[in-house]
Structures are given as structure tokens and as C-alpha cells.
A and B are shown apart, each in its own frame.
Chain A
Amino acid sequence: MRGKDCVAIATDRRFGVQALGLSTEFQKIFAVNDKIYYGLAGLGTDVQTLSEKFTFKTNMYKLNEDREIGVRTFAHLVSSTLYEKRFGPYYAEPVIVGLDKHNAPFICSMDLIGCINFAEDFVVTGTASEQLYGMCEALWEPNLEADDLFETISQAMMSATNRDALSGWGANVVVITKDKIITRTLKGRAD
């Protein structure tokens, strides 16, 4: 979600195979640097492979450019990486949030072959995407401050994942402002 000079990203913590739950603390949020975070939903192995690939690519970027990568550039990097596999894709749909070089908030999501959705308000992916659309559409308003944005994204996440059998076991929430990054873990229904 986009807020006033801040962005927030949240994921659930479940990792499973259909009805079988395998982990209740699976990490799906990754940091590129202090100003860019991304979340990956989908096939577990692809989530891990892609996060390792992006770490490699952004490290190389830093060595070659001698500067941090910008959030829009990173988004296009992710898009290209996914489209490379156009006819045998990674089964993962990323959500990217961050502050650009002027500290203006930026959010976007992508489908599994890299089509970017540049949104002004909020982006959602995953098995509970319809539920998340309903919650965000109802709860989000523009220019929320960091604390209010945290409340809003948390309520949306908890209510939506409680109506999806394949999501849950709490949530990981990260709120990014130009001065600080706050990471929180929410306790949720363990079913």
C-alpha cells in the first residue's frame, strides 16, 4: 500500500502444499536495500530461487554502478528476469514497494511473466487476492501516515487471509519511511 511519504508491504507466513501445511514461519518479504522491499507469492522453490537471483543481480549492479539501485529500475529488472522465462515461467508473482531517490513512495506488482502494474493506491497477489482486493478497496484512503498505514494494511491482511484456506498463520508487515523501517509480526488464526 502507498501512504504519505511511506509504503507498507505485508505477507502471510504459511507455506504448504494444498492441504498440507509445511511451515508456519515462511519468509516471503525480502530487502534489496534500506529503501526497496519486495514480496514473492507462489511456488516456494521459485520464491527462493528468484530472491537469490535478485540478490546476485543487485550486488552486481552495485559493483558496476557504484551506487544503490533505484526502485523503478529494480522493478524493471524483476520484469525482465521473469519475461526471460516467457515460455516456461517462474510461478511467482512479485509485489515491490520502496522510496525512490527523492523519497517519493512507489509500489507495483507483476504477473508471473513480468507485466508490471504501476498502481497509485495498492497492489495484491496470491491465493487470497480477491479477498485482499475487497479489503483494500474498502479500507484504503490516500495520504495515510505510517502508523495509520500499518493499521490499515494489517486489518486488510488479517481479514482477507482468514477467508482463504491456503493463507494465514499470522502476517509479516514492513512499513518504510525515509527515516526508519519498522518490521512487525502479527499473530493470527493458526488454521
Chain B
Amino acid sequence: MLEFGDSKVNPLPTNINLHAIEHKFSPYTDNGGTTVAVSGEDYAVVAADTRQSEGYSINTRYSPKAFKLSNYAVLGTGGFHADAVTLVKRIGQRLEWFQHQHEKPMSTPSIAQMLSIMLYHKRFFPFYVYNILGGLDENGKGCVYSYDPVGSFEREGWRAGGSGGSIVQPFLDNQFADHVNDARVNLPVESVVKIVKDAFTGAAERDIYTGDYLEIFIVTRDGVQLEKMDLKKD
């Protein structure tokens, strides 16, 4: 008979697990963070914190969650950041094609509708992203659209989303509620920016996933301006 090596016979192990071992890979994770958008008579404000977390850890203190899509539209994202970044990349590509095909930039309400369709196309393996789109519509008036991960959307006057959404939303309702006109806010842009900053400092106090820095995009007929602010880093 053939012999291999030193022919030593090792005993079989006795500490094996005879039960099934469940392996679980999740394609998603929650990177936390809060986003807010407010629309006014002739402006829109879109703000998002920059902390990126995973569980009880912080991945980075500066990872922007709000992205300028066009001169008149800014998209705030929350949820799974990898999906958010990919989604923004694909929206950017669609905006380029539109610009070449129609020789004009895409209007914000059109971007809003397109985003809804893009999200629903992945209805059975969704982008785990909570989107809030803010900008100026074709008449130069402020508009805010908020979405669920599979594309259900609605135009609103203001919306707070993300991990700190439930902390911020009632404060915005309290400051902006005007039962005559719920489509937009009746305040000047400077007041709105102050209120948004206060809302985020409150959220950073009580939500562990919100903090580090705040980026505020202000959209007017002159385009998009960016303001930055520090938040608590604990």
C-alpha cells in the first residue's frame, strides 16, 4: 500500500459544532446623520451635518451629505452613504445627458420626478437613502421634495430627515407653520438660516449620530452659496 509523509495517524477533532452556523451578510448599513430643507418665496435652504457613523463608532467627522445637482437644486441624503454617493453619481450623469440633449439644464421639479422614477426602478433592491431635494422651481419660487427609499415623494414647505429628523421636524413646524400657505415659508432667508442652525445644535445635543460640522446650501436666483458651521464633536 502507498505511504505518504511519516504515516502518523492524527486523531479526529472532538470539538466540532454539529449544528448549522448562520452566516449573515447585509448589503446595507446605517451611516446616520440629519438633513433639513426649507423653501421660501424666492430661495431654498438645504442643510446637512457631516458626521458619518457606524454603530457606536465615527468613521469620519467630515463626509458631506448634501450635494449640489445644478445651479438651482441641492440634494440632501441620509441613510446608507455608499448608496447615496452612487445615486448622486447617476443623477449627475442623467443631468449631463439631459443638458446635451435639450440644450438647457434640468428644472428642479423635473429632477424631482426623475429621482422618484430612478428610485422605484430599484424597488426590489432599493437604494437605502432618505432623500430631500431643495431648490427653485421654474417660476423662481422655492420648492422642497421629500422621498422614501423607493421613490414615494411629495412637495412640502419644509422637511427634516435622517436620524435626527424626529427631533428637528416639530421645531420647524413650530417656527414655520402658517396655515394660509403651507407650500412655502413666509420669512426672509436670514431668519430661516438662524432657525436651521438652532435646530441642528439641538439635534447635535440629543442625537449621537448628529454633530461635528454643518453645511448649509442657500439656493437663490443667483445660484448656490455654501455656509459652514461647527457642531458639537462629542
Query: Which residues of A approach B to under 8 Å, CB–CB?
Result: 130-131, 133-135, 137-139, 155, 159-160, 162-163
Contacts and interface: CB of A to CB of B under 8 A. Distances in A.
Interface residues of B, number: 16
A134 B36 CA distance: 14
B160 to A, nearest CB: 9
Contacts of B84: none
A159 B171 CA distance: 7
Q: Is chain B's binding surface mostly helix, strand, loop or mixed? A: helix
Contacts of A163: 166, 169-170, 173
B149 interface: no
Nearest to A140: B202
B173 A134 contact: no
Given A131-B166, A138-B171, 5 more contacts: A131-B170, A134-B167, A138-B174, A138-B198, A163-B166
A130 B174 CA distance: 15
B22 to A, nearest CB: 29
Interface string B199-231: 101110110000000000000000000000000
A14 to B, nearest CB: 16
Interface string B162-201: 0010111111011000000000000000000000001101
Contacts of B167: 130-131, 133-134, 137
A160 B170 CA distance: 5
Most buried by B among A135, A138, A162, A163: A138
